[in-house]
């Protein structure tokens, strides 16, 4: 392979891998350096949802759709689990159902593939949802599920084999400047250096991060096995609380009234940023979450009552009688506090920071990296 320039990517999370791909396609000889022996951060501690429905119309939705197409391309090339399940958003109260109907009208005008289902249609199609009190559901076709633990490892192999990307594992970059990095006692040079360090604001350019409208978000999640292997949880499931979480849902005129009821009746859920979703991987395992605690120094300890709240809400819309808990964990990701969807900056000549995608890293990273690298 003929290379025009060299690039170093710091961090092998999803933003780092997407950046490595975008650089390699543009003719760079790419080296990715990761402080851990394999990906261990937020990029493997999530649902594995590629989630265009959560993005507002315009460049972010288009970025999500582009990212989804790249995920599909890589999954087909490497044969990792990849299911275009779509998503099902359930309403059990009249105000939730009204918001879903309003979103349906908006999304149809935007050209999104969505449908409204009444209770009878849901009963005919899905065995895994709670029908008691169900008003109806919004079905979206754009969402895709991968298993992030499997996918992240497969993507590294894909980048090595298809684009000749070199990976250095278990090494920490202690300092960077224009066109060079210090790796322990070794100096390495590159035409372009991209820092994709996720929630690590302390190691490289801490003075830059100190000035940004950015914080960290800790989430708690659970994984279950399903003893009934005949049931697939497809599409991915969402309860009404998820309507509070995603930017695109704010377009519904009645969302403010729904928020007011939640403030009155579910204040504790909102306090801990809990909204509940379910995805299922290729082994039939079910990932459930999550919560959102914001701050630069998240507590290292998981709170059992948060997991209990998640499960209590889950049982209002999903049939879980055959589930067995197998894992719990937390993840930490960077989050912009000013409403921006990302950070792209050049703190030194030839040194670029790509970060701040929040909880949408799986959904946006591939499209984001393509757009950013095309400007370098």
pLDDT digits (tens, 9 = 90+) for 42-55: 999 999 999 999 99
Among candidates 204, 209, 193, which has minimal Cα distance to 32? 193
The tens place of each residue's pLDDT in the chain, 376 residues long, gives: 666 799 999 999 999 999 999 999 999 999 999 999 998 899 999 999 999 999 999 999 999 999 999 999 999 999 999 999 999 999 999 999 999 999 999 999 999 999 999 999 999 999 899 999 999 999 999 999 999 999 999 999 999 999 999 999 999 998 999 999 998 788 999 999 999 999 999 999 999 999 999 999 999 999 999 887 777 888 999 999 999 999 999 999 999 999 999 999 999 999 999 999 999 999 999 999 999 999 999 999 999 999 999 999 999 999 998 899 999 999 999 999 999 999 999 999 999 999 999 999 999 999 999 999 999 8
Q: Are 183 and 173 in contact (CB under 8 A)?
A: yes
- The reported pTM is 0.96
Q: How far apart are CA 112 and CA 65, in angstroms?
A: 11
pLDDT in tens, 344-363: 999 999 999 999 999 999 99
pLDDT (0 to 100) of residue 373 = 97
Peptide bond into 235 cis (omega under 30): yes
Domains of the chain, start order: 5-47+149-210+341-373 (3.50.50.60), 87-141+214-336 (3.30.9.10)
Q: How far apart are CA 372 and CA 26, in angstroms?
A: 12
pLDDT (0 to 100) of residue 213 = 97
Q: Residue 138, SS3? A: strand
Cα 220 from chain centroid? Answer: 14
pLDDT (0 to 100) of residue 2 = 60
**CA atoms within 13 Å, Cβ hemisphere of 211:** 5
Which residues, in sequence order, are bridge partners of residue 166? 31
Q: Which DSSP symbol is given to 282? A: T
């Amino acid at each position: 392979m003929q290379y025009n320039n060299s690039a170093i990517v710091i961090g092998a999370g999803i933003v780092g891998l997407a950046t490595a791909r975008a650089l390699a396609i543009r003719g760079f000889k790419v080296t990715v350096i990761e402080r851990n022996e394999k990906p261990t951060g937020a990029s493997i501690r999530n649902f594995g949802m590629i989630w265009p429905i959560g993005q507002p119309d315009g460049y972010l939705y288009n970025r999500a759709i582009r990212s989804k197409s790249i995920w599909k391309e890589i999954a087909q090339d490497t044969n990792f689990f990849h299911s275009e399940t779509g998503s099902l958003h359930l309403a059990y109260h009249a105000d939730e159902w009204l918001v879903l109907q309003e979103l349906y009208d908006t999304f149809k005008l935007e050209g999104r593939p969505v449908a409204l289902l009444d209770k009878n249609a849901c009963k005919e199609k899905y065995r895994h949802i709670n029908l008691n009190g169900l008003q109806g559901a919004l079905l979206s076709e754009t969402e895709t599920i991968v298993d992030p633990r499997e996918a992240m490892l497969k993507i590294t192999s894909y980048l090595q084999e298809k684009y000749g990307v070199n990976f250095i594992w278990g090494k920490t970059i202690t300092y960077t400047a224009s066109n060079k990095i210090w790796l322990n006692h070794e100096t390495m040079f590159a035409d372009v250096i991209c820092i994709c360090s996720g929630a690590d604001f302390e190691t490289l350019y801490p003075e830059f991060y100190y000035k940004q409208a950015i914080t960290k978000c800790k989430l708690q999640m659970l994984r279950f096995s399903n003893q009934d292997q005949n049931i697939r949880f497809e599409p991915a499931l969402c309860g009404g609380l998820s309507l509070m979480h995603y930017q695109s849902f704010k377009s519904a005129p009645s969302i403010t009234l729904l928020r007011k009821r939640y403030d009155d009746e579910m204040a504790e859920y909102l306090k801990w940023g809990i909204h509940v979703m379910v995805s299922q991987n290729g082994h039939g395992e079910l990932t459930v979450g999550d919560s959102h605690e914001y701050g630069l120094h998240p507590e290292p300890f998981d709170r059992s009552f948060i997991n209990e709240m998640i499960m209590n809400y889950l049982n209002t819309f999903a049939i879980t009688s055959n589930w067995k808990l197998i894992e719990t964990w937390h993840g930490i990701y960077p989050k912009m506090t000013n409403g921006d969807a990302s950070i792209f900056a050049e703190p030194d000549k030839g040194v670029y920071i790509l970060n701040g995608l929040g909880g949408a890293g799986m959904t946006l990273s591939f499209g984001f990296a393509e757009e950013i690298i095309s400007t370098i």
